[in-house]
Structure 1
């Protein structure tokens, strides 16, 4: 589904990533973990082509394009290969209605679409209730639901979430985690960033820990839960 080998990237003359490696298989949930400033968002941006990669390899996409090199491709071409992004800060279109936000990204690239308006509204009933409201009038939690729904409307092979529940109320967080668990149960591949360690340990199959732009540890939820010294060294502030 996705294979990243020794990825390097940066902003201007500043290198941020200096050796990130990870993989996501079909139906897997994988997390990027690490303290603030360690390169998690930069990794997501580089994978989506929003930031030029300086080195390494990124291979992936839809099944019949397995092994396709992604580095150097434009973001819209990467999206067409099956990557859907829920960006940090949600970034919904503020003047478009909920329904317009969703239909603006709708795509069917791999046969019959799995996700349309009916399916997204079934996942997030509150969005249907507010379907005529502009994005700017939604609460933070509703905007995050909309950002997830908008990414699903691209019918992605791999869903990328940058800060899946940051800044949300506890009840909304619980709803988002329940949705992600449902997506996993239905076979959706997911790569996500989130600081809620207990939730990601329950949801994810594997974790990749970043430190100063490098992958320093990869393992299962059971292995991470059994490694308090690793969590203290790389995850706690």
Structure 2
């Protein structure tokens, strides 16, 4: 069976400055995959290349076996990619409810689609603040809202860029518990985060990124075994 998402030899640039040098990775259906590495090594650029926010200069990105590397970002999103971007980027002048329904849809006929009720069950705090403007939420609440908004598109692949960055420990725990539930439901997930312990617990496969290329890949058992030799790449 083909991977749900496959990158092969992807090279991306910011102007004349090259950021990715032959990035290659696969995400199997139902897998929780992580991108690890120090800041500025190409993790977010990989996400931007996948989601169409950057167009790779070379290489191939396949989603469900179809090339998407030349498509605009809205076409890629409609194909089934849900993004929780770095910095959350919720719609500040819309309410919680309006944020959740703004881009909602069940475009691929999910048998148990995400609804407001399911999002509120996952994040009860969002229901409590349903009528509040997103700009009035705490950082943790905005991250919950960003996750809920992505889920309301009923994605086949959920991508989180810095899943818990800048959040209080209690809120981080709520986000990781949510991701644990989503993994158990069979949702495919690509996650970037600096907190290794929950990534090791949830991850099926890990990619360590260094200077725009994959420096190491393997499962959680292999990552634990090789942690000592990878510390320079991970910044831990």
TM-score (norm 2): 0.96
Q: Secondary structure at the match of 1:94?
A: coil
Q: CA deviation at 1:229?
A: 2.8
Distance in 2 of aligned mates of 1:14 and 1:125:
44
Structure 1 residue 14, shift from structure 2 partner: 1.1
Whole-Å separation in 1 of the counterparts to 2:73 and 2:120: 27
Deviation at 1:12, TM superposition (A): 1.3
Quote the residue 1:168 is aligned against.
167
Q: Which of 38, 41, 48 is the matching residue for 1:38?
A: 41
3-state SS of 1:53 partner: coil
Match of 1:114, SS? coil
Corresponding position of 1:87: 85
**Dislocated runs of 4+, deviation >3 Å:** none
Aligned residue pairs: how many? 232
- What CA distance in whole angstroms lies between the structure 2 residues aligned with 1:230 and 1:149? 37
Could you say what secondary structure the match of 1:154 adopts? coil
Q: How does 1:203-218 map to 2 (within 5 A)?
A: 203-218=202-217
Equivalent-residue separation in structure 2 for 1:58 and 1:122 (angstroms) = 35
* RMSD, aligned α-carbons: 0.9
1:114 deviates by: 1.4
Structure 1 segment 66-145 matched on structure 2, within 5 A: 66-112=64-110, 114-145=113-144
Matched, 1:55 2:58: yes
Which residue of 2 is the match for residue 15 of structure 1?
Answer: 18
Q: Map 1:209-228 to 2 at 5 A.
A: 209-228=208-227
d(CA) in 2 for partners of 1:129 and 1:231?
Answer: 43
For residue 79 of structure 1, report the CA deviation from its aligned partner: 0.6
| In 2, Cα distance between equivalents of 1:169 and 1:200 | 17
The offset of 1:228, in angstroms, is 2.5
Query: What is the CA-CA distance between 1:34 and the residue it aligns to?
Result: 0.5
After superposition, the C-alpha distances for 1:198-225 in whole angstroms (9 at most, x for unaligned) are: 1100011010011100011110001001
Structure 1: 5+ residue runs without aligned partners?
61-65
